[in-house]
Amino acid sequence: MEPLFGLVLGLILAVASPASDSCTCATNKWAVCAQDGAGNCTCRLAGSAHPVDCSTLTPKCFLMKAEMSPQREKRLWRPPQGVWDGDGVYDPECEASGVFRARQCDGASTCWCVNTAGVRRTEKGGRSLSCSRLVRTRWIYIELTHRRRSSAFHGPDVSQALTRLFESRYKLPPKYITAIKYEPPLIQIRLQQNKKPSWDVDIADVAYYFEKDVNNDSVFRSSSELAVSVNGDTLAIEKLWISYVDEKPPEFCMRQLAAGISAVVTVVLLTAGIGVALLLILRWLRTRTYKKFEGKEMREIKAPSLE
């Protein structure tokens, strides 16, 4: 009986192992997956109970929250600290759908308003700060440079390669890629999405996944690095810049505007003062040289002849 039991147990493990290995989330390395009673693979966000749809990209808000989870554990026995600046990665508050809440706050009771990309669009204030609604990011501009090469790529080939990349790797329909311009070694990509249907990915999520890929910190579970090929030649990305344009302009208080204007005025006055001082110095030097020259000429004219 023991050999038979061992054989049966081995067969069970052999069958179960592939199922267990397949219970992973290909689009989110921070997702925790497990087989449920029905034999399905259920994945949830690390550090929370949010379910993750592994057939598409995970919302950026959920990703940032999962990314900050180890930071929260490290700060467990430390005094409360402020989170990272709103222009970078911070511990966000997310809606159940995965979108950012319009108002974000840190542990120090400092709050600010964000757009749908989670980027701060107002000055920081106290808990009384009000954010009426979440402002949509309608345009995302991506600029990157590739490694120098003996000959430039063909522009249309670069556009086709990047369009295929965004469609296949990031599930972004080509209609949201409104322009790709190539001036070696600079590549400019413009994404536009006025409204996001529930079945499409958000351009903010796409930009975040792409940024992580370029920085060799991919969100995808696969360890393979980002590879972009243009007609068989590798497009090696060196630098990346991403900017966000909202449907409404950023909001700033008059105090900050006054401070900015004062700084500009101060710089202008200093520059003007330095310019005037230089003109006076040059004029004084020219006058002094002229007087010396005039005095020498007068001495030569007045000197009597000894003959």
Strands, E assignment, the chain: 31-35, 41-45, 103-105, 111-113, 137-146, 177-183, 186-192, 229-230, 233-234, 237-246
- The predicted pLDDT at position 112 comes to 95
Say how far apart CA 228 and CA 236 lie, in whole Å: 7
Say how far apart CA 178 and CA 190 lie, in whole Å: 6
Whether cis (ω within 30° of 0) applies to the bond prior to 185 is yes
Say how far apart CA 65 and CA 86 lie, in whole Å: 13
Give me 191's structure tokens: 């994404």
Q: What is the pTM of this model?
A: 0.73
Give me 272's structure tokens: 């003007």
The DSSP code sequence of 1-48 is: -HHHHHHHHHHHHHHHHHHHHH-S-TT-TTEEEEE-TTS-EEEEETTS
Give me 144's structure tokens: 């990157």
> Do the beta carbons of residue 98 and residue 107 sit within 8 Å?
no
Q: Which of 202, 181, 192, 189 is nearest to 246 (CA)?
A: 192
**Local structure of residue 142 (DSSP, 8 states):** E
47 burial level (CB within 10 Å; 0-12, 13-18, 19+): middle
Strands, E assignment, 76-230: 103-105, 111-113, 137-146, 177-183, 186-192, 229-230
> Backbone dihedral region of 100: left (phi > 0), alpha (psi from -120 to 50 degrees) or beta?
beta
Could you list the pLDDT tens digit for every one of the 307 residues in the chain? 444 444 444 443 333 333 345 788 999 999 999 888 777 888 998 767 788 999 999 999 999 988 887 654 444 343 333 333 445 678 999 999 999 999 999 878 899 999 999 999 999 999 999 998 999 999 999 999 999 999 999 999 999 999 999 999 999 999 999 999 999 999 999 999 998 898 999 999 999 999 999 999 999 998 678 999 999 999 999 999 999 999 999 986 644 444 445 554 555 566 677 877 778 777 777 776 555 555 555 555 455 554 5
SS3 of residue 282 by DSSP:
helix
